[in-house]
Amino acid sequence: MQINHQALAQQLQKKIAPLYLLIGQDIYLIDDALTTIKSSIKKTAEYDERILNIQAPEDWNTLSEEANSYSLFTENVLLNVYTDKKSIDAAGKKMLLEYLKNVNSRCCIIIRAPNVPAKQVLWLSSLDQTIMVISYPLRADAMKNWISTQLKKNAITFTPQVPDLIHHYTQGNMLACAQVIEKIALSNQATILIDTKQALEHLSDQCEHSLYELVDACLLGQSDKAVQILRQSANNKTEPTLVLWMLTQEVRVHLQLNHLNQQRIDFKTATSQLKIWPQRTNLYQLSSKRLSNQVLQALLHYCQSIDEQIKSSLNVFVWNSLENLALSLCLGQLVGDACVI
């Protein structure tokens, strides 16, 4: 069975499944789902938790052995499994299907696989004994409602502007939101009304972004967010060569997509050939509509120019150039000195 994160608590009230698969790109929600499942199991019985990391095909044999063994300390066993692979390989598929034919009733397996696409494990989610929980980031309105709910759960009284402010500074990063809320709860008495000024005291160091978010911002045309991430990266002394490499890769991918499109290859087939994840196809479809071959060719030359800047005495201007590159990708037109390349 396939459910979203919000439906997990209701499912656990009905029964605890032998196998849970937690997927999606929001790590906070995946960890929250793990905690929720463990709490539900603990309400009915004590368990011995064992942590496993799946990195190679033979690791599935270890999981099978653990799943079919018994604990010396408690009657029940919980196997907390993590894999950062992008798929469940043939050995994993075989092991899981065989185990589900003869489940150890005293064992619960929870597999966290954030990088595995839902379509890749439909064979598993269709089984009654398996619950696949999808934890994708919440939309802006749902995220603000979640922030309000968490503030209330922590007995924090606040002005109406505070959830919007937290969402803006954390850019919807649930882990960052949770950390801010925890800091506010620990730093203030429940009787104190939290306003925007007090909230800002806890938000100054929370606006941390991954460079992978920069790529998504460029694909979605979110120029404000792209600039914010780049300026933060500059302040954090991030290596500009890494940023340039990531953005150059996106320019090249879009050139390849345009080339395949000119050959009348449909977009999904083209993204598949370029090994773009299915769940990211819509992002590239959106960005490809605004990025012409002419702009992309100019940006590729601009990338070469920035690389020369990094290696020369002109590297003090590199971050300005990287901003122009990112803005050009966001807007679909050449910005700043990218126009003169």
* Residue extents of the structural domains in the chain: 2-134, 140-203, 211-340
pLDDT band at 282 (very low <50, low <70, confident <90, very high): confident
Look at 287 and 315; give whichever has higher pLDDT.
287
Please report the pLDDT score of residue 72 as a whole number: 60
Q: Which CATH class is domain 211-340?
A: mainly alpha
Supply 245's token pair. 């490499």
The answer to whether residue 224 scores a pLDDT higher than 50 is yes
Look at 73 and 230; give whichever has higher pLDDT.
230
User: 2-134 and 211-340 share one CATH topology?
Assistant: no
Q: For residues 37 and 128, is the Cβ–Cβ distance under 8 A?
A: no
d(CA 273, CA 281): 12
Chain mean pLDDT for the chain? 87
**Which CATH architecture group holds 140-203?**
Orthogonal Bundle (1.10)
pLDDT band at 341 (very low <50, low <70, confident <90, very high): low
Please report the pLDDT score of residue 265 as a whole number: 87
Q: Are strands 107-112 and 19-23 parallel, antiparallel or unpaired?
A: parallel
Strand partners, 23: 134
**Which CATH architecture group holds 2-134?**
3-Layer(aba) Sandwich (3.40)
How many Å is the maximal CA-CA distance in the chain? 72
d(CA 92, CA 127): 15
Alpha helices in 134-210 (DSSP H): 140-153, 161-170, 174-187, 196-203
Residue-wise pLDDT tens digits, 124-162: 888 889 999 998 778 888 889 989 998 998 888 899 999
d(CA 150, CA 166): 12
The answer to whether residue 207 scores a pLDDT higher than 60 is no
d(CA 109, CA 152): 33
Strand order of the β-sheet with 47-53 is 2-4, 130-134, 19-23, 107-112, 76-82, 47-53
How many other β-carbons are positioned within 10 Å of the β-carbon of residue 285? 15
Residue-wise pLDDT tens digits, 39-66: 999 888 888 888 898 988 999 999 999 9
